[in-house]
């Protein structure tokens, strides 16, 4: 893997390399009975497929009973068809269908009419707990080329930190880490160098928020801020909160979380032997790159818009949305001021010494942000970007993204309810009417406020 300062790999919180290698997920409901799960797993073994994940919840349709989500390795429709047929033979199974897969494998079996299945997605913020252990890479396991791979002390320390993320559940206090002097020194070197560069390269929204983080969240060169303090600050600003994560999530899981204004943040730090390089997102990337703009209302709206569009989206659309996130929240540029000066707002740039400077030179190509074009642009993950997309503003980018999202093939619309921290699916007349009434009430409030100005 190519080594670059604050490597490109810090620019994604999901496994971009494996984006096309997702598994097929089966959903089935069983009656509560001793040995019920064993019977279903026996059917999988008979179908000769490998199971990579299993997840259960109390059933909403069978009482007593359970709903199961099982990830299997299945690359063809024929394999999925065989698995579904075997599970259907189990008499206690009341429902079985595919809920997600790659390359339309899920058109399968349970949907012979050609109806497109909708992938499962979180409906309430506590559903994000199901992502806690679903990391694809890094976390407690390090790749052989990681600077800390052969350091047993570093590996042990990483394991201590990621275990806290693994155990965290919604509603609990965010874990606080007592960082070592060595970790603080690594942070100091990164913080000091980036802080000196930001005034010349970062967008004005980033520069406005950063001093507030220093005043309210313990930002500074001498200690690593705690995500609990930062999360409280962000919630007061825009409703965004932080959540600890073990490592890289799937693109779908990572984007789904943004719909709830939740950002998954690592708490471990890069290896001290090379403070200016990391092959993965770490707390330097999260806290110095991403966090400041989650306190900006317009950027927060843009990030959530990507998240809402990802709920129940097809695998093809998830890939497009992940690419849009890459070229905006990770490596985005924007115009500002009457002269239209270009500045950086992407976290992959703002946490990278080398690429932050490079991106604003004449060397790379710069294009106007257009979601229909941006979403299909290929990109490298181990070297500086040859192409960057420039937004007119966060509001303009959000407006364009909404127009793009309207072209997606999802058969329903969703809205986020901040009062219940849940997602409402607008798939019936009653729900749409209720939503319309709430909009009408808000419009009446707006009209009254305008009259009083």
Tokens of 428: 């019936």
Tokens of 170: 């919604």
Catalytic residue among 107, 285, 305, 352: 285
Catalytic residue among 13, 146, 264, 290: 290
d(CA 373, CA 375): 6
Longest dimension (CA), the chain: 72
Alpha carbon 385 to its chain centroid, in Å, reads: 21
d(CA 129, CA 14): 17
Q: 146 an active-site residue? A: no
Tokens of 8: 């490109």
Q: How many CB atoms lie within 10 A of CB 255?
A: 26
Q: 208 an active-site residue? A: no
The CA-CA-CA angle for residues 126, 127, 130, to 5°, reads: 115
Tokens of 415: 């809205």
Q: 264 an active-site residue? A: no
Catalytic residue among 183, 305, 330, 355: 330
d(CA 244, CA 231): 11
d(CA 432, CA 287): 39
Residue 285, SS3 per DSSP? helix
Q: 330 an active-site residue? A: yes
Residue 69 is given by DSSP the state E
H-state helical runs in 217-368: 227-237, 251-258, 283-285, 291-294, 297-310, 315-325, 347-350, 353-359
Closest CA to 438 of 411, 412, 417, 414: 417
Residue 385, SS3 per DSSP? coil
DSSP E strand stretches across 73-111: 93-100
d(CA 360, CA 345): 12
Catalytic residue among 257, 351, 352, 375: 351
d(CA 221, CA 200): 19
So which residues are the catalytic ones? 285, 290, 330, 351
């Amino acid at each position: 893997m190519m080594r670059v300062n604050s490597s490109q790999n810090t620019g994604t919180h999901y496994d971009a390399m494996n984006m096309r290698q997702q598994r097929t997920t089966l959903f089935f409901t069983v009656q509560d009975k001793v040995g019920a799960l064993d019977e279903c797993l026996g059917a999988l073994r008979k179908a000769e497929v490998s199971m990579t994940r299993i997840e259960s919840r109390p059933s909403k349709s069978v009482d007593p009973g359970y709903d199961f989500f099982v990830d299997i390795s299945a690359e063809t429709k024929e394999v999925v068809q065989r698995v579904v047929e075997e599970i259907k033979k189990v008499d206690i199974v009341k429902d079985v269908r595919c809920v997600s897969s790659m390359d339309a494998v899920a058109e399968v079996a349970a949907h012979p009419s050609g109806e497109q299945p909708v992938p499962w997605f979180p409906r309430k913020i506590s559903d994000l707990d199901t992502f806690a252990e679903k990391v694809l890479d890094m976390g407690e396991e390090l790749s052989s080329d990681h600077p800390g791979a052969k350091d047993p002390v570093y590996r042990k320390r990483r394991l201590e930190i990621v275990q806290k993320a693994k155990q965290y559940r919604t509603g609990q206090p965010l874990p606080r880490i007592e960082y070592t002097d060595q970790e603080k020194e690594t942070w100091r070197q990164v913080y000091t160098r980036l802080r000196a560069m930001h005034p010349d390269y970062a967008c004005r929204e980033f520069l406005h928020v950063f001093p507030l983080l220093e005043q309210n969240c313990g930002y500074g060169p001498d200690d690593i801020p705690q995500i609990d303090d930062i999360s409280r600050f962000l919630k007061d600003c825009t409703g965004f909160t932080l959540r600890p994560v073990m490592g890289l999530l799937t693109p779908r899981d990572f984007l789904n979380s943004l719909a709830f204004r939740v950002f998954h943040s690592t708490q471990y730090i890069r290896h001290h032997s090379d403070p200016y390089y990391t092959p993965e997102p770490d707390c330097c990337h999260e806290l110095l790159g991403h966090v400041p703009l989650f306190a900006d209302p317009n950027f927060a709206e843009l990030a959530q818009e990507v998240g809402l569009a990802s709920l129940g989206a097809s695998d093809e659309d998830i890939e497009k949305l992940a690419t849009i996130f890459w070229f905006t929240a990770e490596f985005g540029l924007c115009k500002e001021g009457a002269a239209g000066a270009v500045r950086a707002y992407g976290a992959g740039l703002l946490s990278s010494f080398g690429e932050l400077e490079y991106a604003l030179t004449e060397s790379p190509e710069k294009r106007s942000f257009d979601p229909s074009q941006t979403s299909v642009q290929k990109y490298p993950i181990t070297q500086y970007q040859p192409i960057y997309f420039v937004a007119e503003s966060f509001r303009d980018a959000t407006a364009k993204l909404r127009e793009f999202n309207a072209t997606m093939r999802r058969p329903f619309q969703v809205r986020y309810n901040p009062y219940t921290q849940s997602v409402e699916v607008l798939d019936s007349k009653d729900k749409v009417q209720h939503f319309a009434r709430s909009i009408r009430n808000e419009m009446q409030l707006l009209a009254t406020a305008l009259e009083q100005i």
